Amino acid sequence: MRDILIGIDAGTSVIKSVAFDLGGRELAIAAVPNSYEAVGRTGSVQDLRRTWADTVKTLVELSAGIENLPGRVAAIAVTGQGDGTWMIDSDGEPVGKGWLWLDARAGETVERLRGDSGDVERFSRTGSGLAACQQGPQLRWMVDNAPEMLRGATTAFHCKDWLYFNLTGQRATDPSEANFTFGDFRTRQYCDEVISFLGLDTLKHLLPDIVDGAASHHALSQTAASATGLPAGTPVVLGYVDVVCTALGAGLYDPGTDAGCSIIGSTGMHMRLATSAEDVRLNRDLTGYTMCMPIPNTYTQMQSNMAATLNIDWILSIAGGVLKGMGVEKSKGELLAHVDGWLQEAKGTPLLFEPYISEAGERGPFVDASARASFVGLSSTHGFGDMVRAVFDGLALAARDCYAEMGPLPECIRLTGGAARSASLRRILGGALGASIQTSERDEAGAAGVAMIAAVSLGIYPSMADCVGDWVRPHQRLAEPADAELVRRYDALFPAYQQSRLALRPVWHALSHAAGTGDQQERPK
């Protein structure tokens, strides 16, 4: 009996294959650490052949853990890290290594394009702001700076597209990545005007066909079958980009519920569901993403702040450094155990923290590479507990800042990511957003989301709404209502939070300029 769906999620940190039964129950998981490397100061690349080999390894290990998996697999579905540029030649061989979303070499290209008046029209089509992580600016950088990198290339993929090619032999990409990079979200097709604005008319031939995995699939090739041990002809579904699949598995799409979805990890991703093209709300700063969902006329809008739990890691490292200087060694886990105590020590005196701790600055809801973190309002009455509380507050207010750019705050936030395990963070986030917080018992939301696309593609469920009833709702924990006192606190703090980041922008730029001047002065030495 073909009663198992396999969801592959090739993330930045881990590549995993997860087996589910047809009703959405997780059966087994196999995972290997991902591997990528730095190129110079700002480049980040990944070996295509190794990525495929690592994916094969997870599928082989999954088979070893499930009795008769080859005889039971109904379909394989694949998603993976978004953005980036992974190219192959006419024979299907890699052309160089894959550029990741972490690669920032196209930063100056993005600044130049964002300064062009034509970017307003491009944004109106894609609904997505330009960023150095995207394939469009990365290809433009190659054209302008290293055209030899393009020699022999016939197709430009993203990570999951490369894996799909190895599984099926088909050169394709999905509607979400195709449209927020090169298309029009209303038509779900490539847009010539967008491609021309990016200066990539001569590279249009690199863009693969757009394949909607929710409506179609291809067969596992004989070559891939030999490598994985799974039967040739098994349906293979090209999923949407990983953040869409994670949102789907976490419950962003749940008809009849006013839900948003936040993924709180090293970075923060905040998503709002738009139930029509007309419901998409484009902002004046030309930031964020608009991504097609695997549901007709449905979209997720996303704002992503660069640093979320990175801010917590920083404040803990300060505590750890002070203790180490006194001869006391504490692990990150031991320091985390003290967080609730520090939060309880915090006084009610207002203290703001702008959580832009990443050296890459900020990307949502505004773009500024020079943005830096700061405390605002410190006095002699504040102690370390107040600073820890301000860091948690800042993380939550940054999430509100992102949601505020996308329209009214949702009534419920479906929360996932490593930080979702923190009761303190859930309580603070709920207060800052004025929303109930709901987490899932499911750890592998991305793999579940892509498997859900397969379940609809194969007709196991007549619609995604029907699939959600079995795959999402039973796994949701009870919603935690917002604390009314905290809601009042953050409603009062939020205007000051926004005012301070606007006021500090010239200071960030001045500091960035001073740092650059200092570098130049030191070089002759």
How is residue 445 written in tokens?
């939301």
Q: What's the mean pLDDT in 490-508?
A: 93
C-alpha to C-alpha distance for 234 and 333, rounded to whole angstroms: 44
For residue 366, name the pLDDT band (cuts at 50, 70, 90): confident
Extract the tokens encoding 42.
């700002």
Backbone φ and ψ for 391, nearest 5 degrees, come out as -65, -45
Average pLDDT, whole number, for the chain? 92
pLDDT digits (tens, 9 = 90+) for 100-158: 988 888 988 998 999 999 999 999 999 999 988 899 999 999 999 999 999 999 999 99
Exposure string over 78-91, b if 16+ CB within 10 A, otherwise e: bbbbbbbbbbbeee
Percentage of the chain modeled with pLDDT above 90:
73
Q: How many CB atoms lie within 10 A of CB 489?
A: 17
The whole-angstrom separation of Cα 387 and Cα 379 is: 11
Q: How many residues does the chain have?
A: 525
For residues 355-370, give the mean pLDDT: 82
Token code pair at residue 133: 């992580």
d(CA 497, CA 501): 7
The per-residue b/e assignment along 5-30, b for 16 or more CB within 10 angstroms, e otherwise, is: bbbbbbbbeebbbbbbebebebbbbb
Please give the C-alpha separations between residue 375 and each of 251, 382, 393, in angstroms, as whole numbers: 35, 11, 11
Q: Using CB atoms within 10 A of its CB, is residue 485 exposed (0-12), middle (13-18) or buried (19+)?
A: exposed
For the whole model, what pTM was predicted? 0.89
pLDDT for 303 equals 93
Summarize the confidence of residues 220-236 as an average pLDDT: 97
Residue 354: pLDDT over 60: yes
pLDDT tier at 358 (50, 70, 90 boundaries)? confident
Q: Using one digit for the tens of pLDDT, what is the confidence trace for 283-333?
A: 888 999 999 999 999 999 999 888 788 888 898 888 888 988 988 888 888
Q: Do residues 330 and 409 make contact, with C-beta atoms less than 8 angstroms apart?
A: no
Are 9 and 80 in contact by the 8 Å Cβ rule? The answer is yes
Distances (CA, A) of 72 to 21, 25, 37, 76, 453: 10, 15, 37, 11, 18
Distances 59 to 29, 105, 167, 239, 255 between C-alpha atoms, Å: 9, 34, 12, 17, 33
Q: Give me 505's structure tokens.
A: 């922008």
* Cis bond before residue 365 (omega within 30° of 0): yes
pLDDT > 50? residue 525: no
Beta-carbon contacts of residue 34 (< 8 Å; ≥ 6 apart): 10, 11, 12, 13, 14, 15, 46, 51, 54
Distance (Å, whole) CA 81 – CA 164: 13
Report the run of H or E that residue 354 belongs to, with start and end. Answer: strand 352-354
* Confidence at residue 451, expressed as pLDDT on a 0 to 100 scale: 98
Least confident segment among 270-284, 334-348, 463-477: 334-348
Average pLDDT over residues 367-389: 89
Mention every residue, 6+ apart, whose C-beta is less than 8 A from residue 152: 89, 90, 95
Residue with tokens 């507050």: 393
pLDDT digits (tens, 9 = 90+) for 149-205: 999 999 999 999 999 999 999 999 999 999 999 999 999 999 999 999 999 999 999
Smallest CA-to-CA distance from 422 within 513, 286, 309 is with 309
Q: HSE of 524 in the Cβ direction (CA atoms, 13 Å)?
A: 3
pLDDT recorded at residue 443: 83
Question: By CB neighbour count within 10 A (0-12 exposed, 13-18 middle, 19+ buried), where does 447 fall?
Answer: buried
The answer to whether 13 and 431 have CB atoms below 8 angstroms apart is no
Burial tier of 141 (Cβ tally within 10 Å: 0-12, 13-18, 19+): buried
Burial class of residue 231, CB neighbours in 10 A (0-12, 13-18, 19+): middle
Q: pLDDT, tens digit, for every residue of 422-442?
A: 888 899 999 999 999 999 888
pLDDT 10s digits, 40-60 = 888 999 999 999 999 999 999
Say if residue 489's pLDDT is above 60: yes
Q: Are 261 and 271 in contact (CB under 8 A)?
A: yes
Residue 516: which pLDDT band, with cuts at 50, 70 and 90?
Answer: low
HSE toward the beta carbon, residue 322, CA cutoff 13 A: 7
The sign one gets for the Cα dihedral 289, 133, 420, 500 is: negative
Handedness of CA 423, 429, 432, 433 (dihedral sign): negative
Q: Judge whether 293 and 244 are in contact, CB under 8 Å.
A: yes
Averaged pLDDT for residues 217-241: 97
